[in-house]
Amino acid sequence: MVAMNAIISATELASELAGQNPPVLLDVRWQLTMAKAAGEPPFDGRAEYAAGHIPGAVYVDLDRELASAPGTRGRHPLPDLAVFGAAMRRAGVSAGTPVVVYDGGQGWGAARAWWLLRWTGHPDVRVLDGGLPVWEGELPVDVPEPAEGDFEPKPGAVEMLDGDGAAALARSGVLLDARAGERYRGEVEPIDPVGGHIPGAVSAPTNDNVGADGRFLPAEELGARFKALGAVEGADVGVYCGSGVSGAHEVLALAVAGIPAALYVGSWSEWSSDPSRPVAVGPDPQ
């Protein structure tokens, strides 16, 4: 398997930004919070962006521009394509211009934008490996005003799963559950209606794909990990998580290892909201 050109280092990014064809930069700082339960204000990526960002980067709001409102399709269903397309053009994204996405270091928000751009047909999009913490350059506070881009989303460029497709893939191929192991096993479920996993899915926490510095493990190590989980040559592979965000990060890790995979965007938040869907608990897939 040949690793895909899905990530970029901070050194490489600095070089490209100084080159003849600099990439469009998207800042997608986001993190999952329990603000309502804790009584605290929600995480505000826009405020963090305003305090400093990589030169030229435009902020993109994951909850409003990379997803639709929560509902029966999950906590982060696919965005309205008109809204998504407008956000990308506002940021200067064009079909013929490379795009680099970063976030605060966790990688989940950046991976969601990466996956959506790939799914809607953009040919050249990468994630800054390690996110903002690995950037050693300046962090200006001025807000850039890029020229309007021409990107028009055309969905279906990469495979996507719905609930029925995920259930079928769990039987015929490899369906990876990117959530923490305790949520997969059903020991705890802090967000969704019920704990557990899709019957047949294999536990594969996305946090195990990165090192202590937040960067992805080498492609060879990722390949070995996924092979041990069943993602062998010729196998159909899919991923789900809680709401299609951390799962995109696992799809990105698979891409680094050279393994194509489909994302179940609705993920567990959609699956568990339907009482007719079966739920498995415990450490085993079944």
Active site residues: 241
Residue 278: how many other CB atoms lie within 10 Å: 10
As given in the structure block, the two tokens for residue 100 are 């680099």
Residue 32: how many other CB atoms lie within 10 Å: 17
Tokens 């895909």 identify what position?
Answer: 4
> Is 265 in contact with 66 (CB distance < 8 Å)?
no
As given in the structure block, the two tokens for residue 262 are 């489909």
Q: Is 39 exposed, middle or buried (0-12, 13-18, 19+ CB in 10 A)?
A: exposed
**Residues 6 or more apart whose Cβ sits within 8 Å of residue 277:** 163, 167, 198, 271
What CA dihedral angle connects 209, 212, 215 and 216, to 10 degrees? -20
d(CA 236, CA 183): 24
d(CA 171, CA 266): 19
Which H or E run contains 136?
none
**C-alpha distances out from residue 122 to 2, 27, 80, 191, 241, Å:** 20, 17, 17, 32, 24
Q: Is 143 exposed, middle or buried (0-12, 13-18, 19+ CB in 10 A)?
A: exposed
